[in-house]
Amino acid sequence: MRGKAVIAGIGHTAFGKQPGRSTVSLNIEACRNAVADAGIEKNAVDGLLVKVPTSKVEMMYGQKLAEAMGMSPRFGGVFDQGGASNISMIAIAAMAIEAGQCEVALVTLADNPRTGSRHAYEKVWGDDADFGWSSVVAGYAMIARRYMHDHGDVSDIHAAIAMACRKHGADNPHAQLRLPLTREMYDASPWVVGPLRRDDCCLVSDGAAAVVVMSADRAKDLGVKAPVPILGFGQGNSSIDVPLREDLTETQAGVSARTAFAMAGLAPKDIDVAQIYDCFTITVAMTLEAYGFAPKGKLAALVKEGGFEVGGALPLNTSGGLLSETGMPGLQLVLEGVRQMRGFSSNQVLDAETCIVSNQGGIMHTHSTLILGRQ
Amino acid sequence: MTAAPYDTYRAGLDAGRLTFQRCRACGEAWLPPREDCPHCWSADWGWEEASGKATVVSWVVYHAAFDKRFADRLPYNVAIVELDEGPRMITNIIEIPPDEDVIGRKAILAFERDHDRLLPRYRLDPS
């Protein structure tokens, strides 16, 4: 499959607050921009895959969106793995195209928890609500506390991740939060659920992003100007709930990455730039280790080598990530991977030829990996 | 009709007893309550009473009340403990020392009445 499918176009909305806009309308704006970017007509699209919004879960959302777009796609619907859905749907689109199920697919995500409902992030956890067990951030904090117990003080690593994302976000004119973060600001940041501080936590955002997926051959036929080849993809699902995970610091992210690396015929040393799902800083630290960029508990060495900013050992989240660009759950990271491979990021990594992108969902319940290359 | 597993579990707690399920086919023990063994999928299981001895797996401290019922308790802790018999559960540690890593510490079951219910909480074992 390596290189057989491409991302032919990308599109997004403004990020931040979108009061009064439905997620259907946000999806349509992102799709309109993605199709225009690919330089194709709407009637060329015969696949439509969409992530269900966190702000409002409803049945048959994929068909609702297709109806609003005046489409009857051959292949389409919702695939739900939380934040991992985006990359998984790109992979599903690539496989569907290879299997002759459709020719050109839109993969799209819209959400509006900032002006709509944040229930998905703040809800109480079922029968354990009587203990005060609530919110997504607390699940990640449970993992972070155990990680710190096992690996010692990791505040330098968390700070380095947050500072790199915020620096890159400050350089991105589309970013929701364009305020660089100093170490002093990080250390003074208030606790939300200890051991996680406010600046360890991603933004809450309205907005949408979309990509157009097609075969490399089809892109040539249609005269697509800047197709970005998909070199590899993979996924892994821990699924087990956080309290019951035998080792709280182990996920299936490594399984996901190894599947993607095997398809691409690449290894971590071959990766020039990374877009790592940063709902919380701990997620980035654990993902980088699981991916093989550093042995477990040894990420500090990578920070010392110049860290995660452009020009460093491993530049990451070059558009600002969820911590700075937009807290939307994930597809925007793929868009930035495409910009890096096209050579037009606002934080361009010079001569970058490979980009790895991670998406994950729940509280590290799901994971999906994408490796992009240069045309 | 048999009671749903959670209702039986809750009835035990209301009587001041912490119970868990054990599979008669493979021996797996688990919480929270469920209808089938998560290891071998057998529906043939029974209830056992926990010894009340456990170990702290992780814990967090809330500085924000996502659940408004807890707004006047901030900061408060929520912990994961592993029973000596194997199952894990969400709970609170009573009187947790500040600035101390309590992961790996032994803990003893201590029921407290709260929100009109008996809740299975834990105290750190001083020994």
B119/B59 same-domain check: yes
- B57, B81 in Cβ contact below 8 A? yes
Strand partners, A208: A110
B79/B114 same-domain check: yes
B37/B84 same-domain check: no
B44/B57 same-domain check: no
* Chain A CA closest to residue B122: A131
Query: How far from the centroid of its chain's Cα atoms is residue A173's Cα?
Result: 19
Query: Which residues of A are less than 8 Å from B69 in CB distance?
Result: 132
Identity of the residue in B70, B89, B101 whose CB atom sits nearest the CB atom of A132: B70
* Chain B CA closest to residue A195: B60
Say what the pLDDT of residue A124 is. 85
H-helix or E-strand containing A367? Answer: strand A366-373
Write the CB contacts of A217 (distance below 8 Å, at least 6 apart in sequence). none
Domain tally, chain B: 2
Query: Which residues of A are less than 8 Å from B18 in CB distance?
Result: none
Say what the pLDDT of residue A125 is. 84
Asked if A190 has any chain B CB less than 8 Å from its own CB, the reply is yes
Taking each helix axis from N to C terminus, what angle separates A155-170 and A281-291, rounded to the nearest 10 degrees?
Answer: 100
Which residues 4-43 on chain B approach chain A with CB closer than 8 angstroms? 6, 10, 32
Asked if B80 has any chain A CB less than 8 Å from its own CB, the reply is yes
- A216, A4 in Cβ contact below 8 A? yes
Q: Are strands B88-91 and A5-12 parallel, antiparallel or unpaired?
A: unpaired
Please give the share of chain A, as a percent, with pLDDT higher than 70. Answer: 100
- A160, A276 in Cβ contact below 8 A? no
Say what the pLDDT of residue A122 is. 87
Low-confidence ranges of chain A (pLDDT < 50): none
* Chain A CA closest to residue B38: A240
B62/B100 same-domain check: yes
Asked if A193 has any chain B CB less than 8 Å from its own CB, the reply is yes
What separation in angstroms does the CA of A255 have from each of A232, A243, A288, A366, B81? 13, 21, 13, 11, 28
Taking each helix axis from N to C terminus, what angle separates A281-291 and A253-264, rounded to the nearest 10 degrees?
Answer: 50
- B120, B18 in Cβ contact below 8 A? yes
CATH number at residue B98: 2.40.50
B91/B114 same-domain check: yes
B40/B13 same-domain check: yes
Cα distance between residue B81 and residue A369, in whole Å:
32
Q: Where are the alpha helices (DSSP H) in A205-252?
A: 216-221
SS3 A267: coil
Query: Which residues of B are less than 8 Å from A120 in CB distance?
Result: none
Average pLDDT over residues B23-32: 98
SS3 B27: coil
Residues spanned by the domain of B18: 5-49
B65/B102 same-domain check: yes
Contact between chains at B61 and A134 (C-beta distance less than 8 A): no
Peptide bond before residue B32 is cis, with ω within 30 degrees of 0: yes
Identity of the residue in B70, B90, B101 whose CB atom sits nearest the CB atom of A243: B90
Contact between chains at B57 and A122 (C-beta distance less than 8 A): no
B43/B81 same-domain check: no
Asked if B66 has any chain A CB less than 8 Å from its own CB, the reply is yes
Cα distance between residue A190 and residue A176, in whole Å:
20
B108/B84 same-domain check: yes
On whether ipTM exceeds 0.85, the answer is: yes
B120/B85 same-domain check: yes
Q: Where are the alpha helices (DSSP H) in chain A?
A: 23-38, 61-68, 85-98, 119-122, 136-151, 155-170, 183-188, 216-221, 253-264, 281-291, 299-304, 321-324, 331-342
Write the CB contacts of A269 (distance below 8 Å, at least 6 apart in sequence). none
Contact between chains at B62 and A124 (C-beta distance less than 8 A): no
Where are the domains positioned within chain A? 5-116+203-373
B61/B95 same-domain check: yes
Query: Which residues of B are less than 8 Å from A122 in CB distance?
Result: 66
CB atoms within 10 A of CB A46: 19
Q: What is the mean pLDDT of chain B?
A: 95
| DSSP codes, A345-358 | -TTPPTT--EEEEE
Tokens describing residue A219:
């892109």
Q: What is the pLDDT of residues B74-107, one digit of tens each?
A: 999 999 999 999 999 999 999 999 889 999 999 9
Cα distance between residue A161 and residue A164, in whole Å:
5
Say what the pLDDT of residue B2 is. 67
Domain A5-116+203-373, second-level architecture: 3-Layer(aba) Sandwich (3.40)
Query: How far from the centroid of its chain's Cα atoms is residue A52's Cα?
Result: 15
